[in-house]
Amino acid sequence: IMKIKDYKHIIFFMVAMIVTLAAYWWFIKTPYFGSFKNWSGQNFGLYFTVLVLLKVIGLVWPPLPGGVLTIGSIPVLGWFYAYSADLLGSIIGASIAYLIAKKWGYQFISKIFDEITIDRIRKVKIKKHREIEAIFFLRIFGGTIVEAVCYAAGILNIKYKNFLIGTVSSHAALGVPFFYFTNNIFESKNFIINLIIVAVFIPWLLIAKKRYLEEDGGLETGAENLLS
């Protein structure tokens, strides 16, 4: 039986998109949308920087949903710049989380993650020649939150270069099509084509997850399956 927690990344993206769409359709009907869009256009650098900072904080301190804010900025900035803010914030935030874990280890992460997540991190064993692949698939298909992967990489002494490559490549693989697709929905472009894309993309994620992770979706089982 499929467990909801096994697919929480996919569920998160779908819920985030639905919530963002609902908020967007409500917001454009208010008299504030035009003013806000004009302001953001005139203060692009400031708005972009704030988005990046919120994304960084959301990765370092998981309770803040920085990703939802960048998705919500698609109608304002366009998908490319909204995605760019999300990517830049992810790189900076993931790097900070990696360095924090590398220096303070379990002493710090015990303050932001529960014991189950920490126990999963303790059980991970990653072979040196599979570090990039492990980060890539755990960030996309892992049953735990993405932030935990960033901290786990620092604790497990994964090479920063490999961690960064895995982080950027996984972000692009999932983020580019998602932001582009969401933008098309906002603009009501090629609706049927976008439905076809979703009909192919989501089943692909589910099939790939089954290929690389066991049903319990744990961080440790994902690493063992990938790296054995």
- Token pair listed for 64: 């803040």
CB contact at 8 A, 175 and 86:
yes
pLDDT of residue 166: 93
CB contact at 8 A, 111 and 75:
no
pLDDT of residue 214: 42
Nearest to 191 by CA among 182, 178, 200, 202: 182
> Nearest 10 degrees: CA dihedral of 197, 186, 170, 226?
-50
Neighbouring CB atoms inside 10 A of 53's CB total: 15
pLDDT beneath 70, residues of the chain:
1-18, 20-21, 24, 63-66, 141-145, 188-228
Q: Tokens 């972000």 sit at which residue?
A: 171
pLDDT of residue 6: 45
- Token pair listed for 82: 């909204």
pLDDT of residue 140: 77
In angstroms, the CA 138 to CA 80 distance is 25
- In this prediction the pTM is 0.74
| Surface-to-core class of residue 108, CB atoms within 10 Å of its CB (0-12 exposed, 13-18 middle, 19+ buried) | middle
Q: In percent, how much of the chain has pLDDT > 90? A: 25
Question: What is the residue type of 118?
Answer: I
pLDDT of residue 224: 44
pLDDT of residue 142: 58
Nearest to 171 by CA among 74, 69, 98, 87: 87
pLDDT of residue 137: 81
pLDDT of residue 102: 92
CB contact at 8 A, 89 and 55:
yes
pLDDT of residue 48: 95
pLDDT of residue 216: 40
